[in-house]
Chains A and B, each alone.
Chain A
């Protein structure tokens, strides 16, 4: 296949919505899902006479993202206007950063090559810009409907170097980027709500060639899998062109998610000329060294550091650590349970088992999970202390998810507390032995392997409440007494 002779060269432009309460240049809410044009004001409507004022939190979050990506944050950057007409762009220009971006020259490690060296993708730049509104083309016949709630929402654009060589690497890059942005609390990185969007630049060359081929830009990539599929599709298209001895045309391609294909945009190439120039409504963005130092100081732990710390502190298996550290809230949750309960392995098993199962089923985020870490830890304590059986604990956990109640309350209410009182246990044991005279005799005669069966019968008779450890001990002493 031609794909073996050629390689793709890919750079990604990722747009991420910053977690601010208000828009980049006005006090309007960034809330998702409001009625159309509710979150608008003179500034984001582009009314005559309105002026932008920059959101301090947007700058701080953008700087934090840049630092997490090992970029150098510039002490002076500037805003520019990107001029084009589109009905969801109220001012007729987008405020963005052009020749003086917020930060430059970072990188992101996305795993290891076969030889163990890290795969590093260069980050060209990180800059702040405002989002456009939304155009709905199919809602009313013959008309386009405009909702400007999103207009002016702060974004960062993260531009990578053309260092990505496969769709798999592109996927890994995006996954790692998402994880880091979540860790530094810069964005909730939800593609559904449009808080992460990707454009891809791709060219194709013969393996071993140094010179880059002609690139195309793929737009409209709204999921990680769309990025991977679109890159593969466009790579195949470019390979086929080169195989025929033809040349790739520089153009914008659109990904059609329903047909799983890329096709050229109908917009004429070269028809836009964005006429960038410094935005005279905003002075340059000046960040002094002290401020940049502060942002570095307040950086939350990054994924790699978190994994190392989890390994050192809790001595868990590598796979478990990777799963726990996949997102910061999950590993925070785990750590809270582990600290309160004291046995990290049990805590990890429960978080990755029971807790994740419920979250996946209910599509919840762990920070909104009704079972708080302290309560889960308490439940695990109760198992360890013999207050509830493992099976009872699972029933209690389900109830905790439903009600948010504490485990002791549920255990008591539902009679799931374990019975460890010898008199009660002996009464059940005697009853079981009496009901099963044959097994009872064989057991008394020294057939120890029957002990498990008998414990099971006692547990059943007790409705799961008998403390199995004590039942074992009592049964063993019975067997001993019989010989």
Chain B
């Protein structure tokens, strides 16, 4: 399995990274070198082995449905690039409007 320039373009898009086309060939090369070292794993017999899942075997701890929220030591507008009327503002979604005025959604 080696990685092609188009694969890198695709994963860069998934990761929301704009890649400089000039940088692409060397990046493809570097990733392929790294991935080549991973090939050794394909030869390891892991029949019946269960993937690792942390140190604790007793399961994730649960918290009671009460208690004070964690307070911030400064107001949000001191860390946010852009806020208005208490909302975070971001540039409009390219496909905005197709779902109507307000939707909890995904791409």
* CB closest chain-A residue, reference B83: A37
Q: In the complex, which residues of chain B have a beta carbon less than 8 angstroms from the beta carbon of A29?
A: 69
- B56 on the A face (CB < 8 A): yes
The listed residue (B60, B70, B102) touching A136 by CB distance below 8 A is B102
Contact with B along A81-97 (1 / 0, CB 8 A): 00011111100000000
Q: Are B104 and A271 in contact, with the CB atoms below 8 A?
A: no
Q: In the complex, which residues of chain B have a beta carbon less than 8 angstroms from the beta carbon of A138?
A: 97, 101-102
- B86 on the A face (CB < 8 A): yes
Considering only CB atoms and an 8 Å cut-off, how many residues of chain A contact the other chain? 73
Q: Are B60 and A27 in contact, with the CB atoms below 8 A?
A: no
Complex-state Cα separation, A365 to B64, whole angstroms: 28
Find the residue from B64, B101, B105 having the highest chain A CB count within 10 A.
Answer: B105
* CB closest chain-B residue, reference A87: B90
Q: How large is the interface on B (under 10, 10 to 19, 20 to 34, 35 or more residues)?
A: 35 or more
Q: In the complex, which residues of chain A have a beta carbon less than 8 angstroms from the beta carbon of B103?
A: 135, 220
Complex-state Cα separation, A192 to B101, whole angstroms: 15
Contact with A along B83-107 (1 / 0, CB 8 A): 0111111111101111111111111
The listed residue (B69, B87, B107) touching A272 by CB distance below 8 A is B107
Q: In the complex, which residues of chain A have a beta carbon less than 8 angstroms from the beta carbon of B96?
A: 137, 144
Complex-state Cα separation, A197 to B76, whole angstroms: 30
Q: Are A54 and B62 in contact, with the CB atoms below 8 A?
A: yes
Q: In the complex, which residues of chain A have a beta carbon less than 8 angstroms from the beta carbon of B63?
A: 27, 53-56
- A36 on the B face (CB < 8 A): yes
Q: Are B65 and A21 in contact, with the CB atoms below 8 A?
A: yes
Complex-state Cα separation, A84 to B85, whole angstroms: 27
Complex-state Cα separation, A86 to B105, whole angstroms: 8
Known: A144-B92, A282-B60. A254 touches B104 (CB 8 A): no
Complex-state Cα separation, A138 to B86, whole angstroms: 16
Q: Are A39 and B66 in contact, with the CB atoms below 8 A?
A: no
* CB closest chain-A residue, reference B70: A41
Known: A143-B91, A143-B92, A147-B87. A285 touches B104 (CB 8 A): no
In the complex, which residues 238-263 of chain A have their Cβ closer than 8 Å to any Cβ of chain B?
A: 254, 256-257
Min CB distance B104 to A, Å, is: 5
The listed residue (A56, A134, A147, A286) touching B64 by CB distance below 8 A is A56
The listed residue (B54, B59, B76, B106) touching A280 by CB distance below 8 A is B54
Q: In the complex, which residues of chain A have a beta carbon less than 8 angstroms from the beta carbon of B102?
A: 134-138
Q: Number of contacts between A and B (CB, 8 Å)?
A: 164
Q: Are B107 and A42 in contact, with the CB atoms below 8 A?
A: no
Contact with B along A124-152 (1 / 0, CB 8 A): 00000001111111111011111110100
Known: A27-B68, A134-B102. A285 touches B59 (CB 8 A): yes
Complex-state Cα separation, A271 to B97, whole angstroms: 19
Complex-state Cα separation, A38 to B70, whole angstroms: 12
Q: Are B14 and A136 in contact, with the CB atoms below 8 A?
A: no
In the complex, which residues 37-62 of chain A have their Cβ closer than 8 Å to any Cβ of chain B?
A: 37-43, 45, 53-59
* CB closest chain-A residue, reference B89: A143
Min CB distance A216 to B, Å, is: 16
Min CB distance B2 to A, Å, is: 19
Complex-state Cα separation, A314 to B107, whole angstroms: 54
Contact with B along A409-426 (1 / 0, CB 8 A): 000000000000000000
Q: Are B62 and A135 in contact, with the CB atoms below 8 A?
A: no
Min CB distance B97 to A, Å, is: 6
Min CB distance B1 to A, Å, is: 17
Q: Are B98 and A27 in contact, with the CB atoms below 8 A?
A: no
The listed residue (B56, B60, B70, B85) touching A42 by CB distance below 8 A is B70
Q: In the complex, which residues of chain B have a beta carbon less than 8 angstroms from the beta carbon of A256?
A: 100
Complex-state Cα separation, A59 to B61, whole angstroms: 11
Min CB distance A468 to B, Å, is: 56
Q: Are B67 and A22 in contact, with the CB atoms below 8 A?
A: yes
Q: In the complex, which residues of chain A have a beta carbon less than 8 angstroms from the beta carbon of B100?
A: 220, 256-257
Known: A40-B76, A266-B98. 6 other contacts (CB 8 A): A27-B66, A85-B107, A87-B90, A137-B96, A271-B107, A286-B58
Chain A residues close to B by CB (< 8 Å): 20-22, 26-29, 35-43, 45, 53-59, 76, 78-79, 84-89, 131-140, 142-148, 150, 194, 197, 219-220, 254, 256-257, 265-267, 271-273, 275, 278, 280, 282-287
Chain B residues close to A by CB (< 8 Å): 14, 16, 53-54, 56, 58-72, 76, 84-93, 95-107
Q: What 5 A-B pairs come out closest when comparing CB atoms?
A: A286-B59, A57-B65, A145-B87, A56-B62, A36-B86
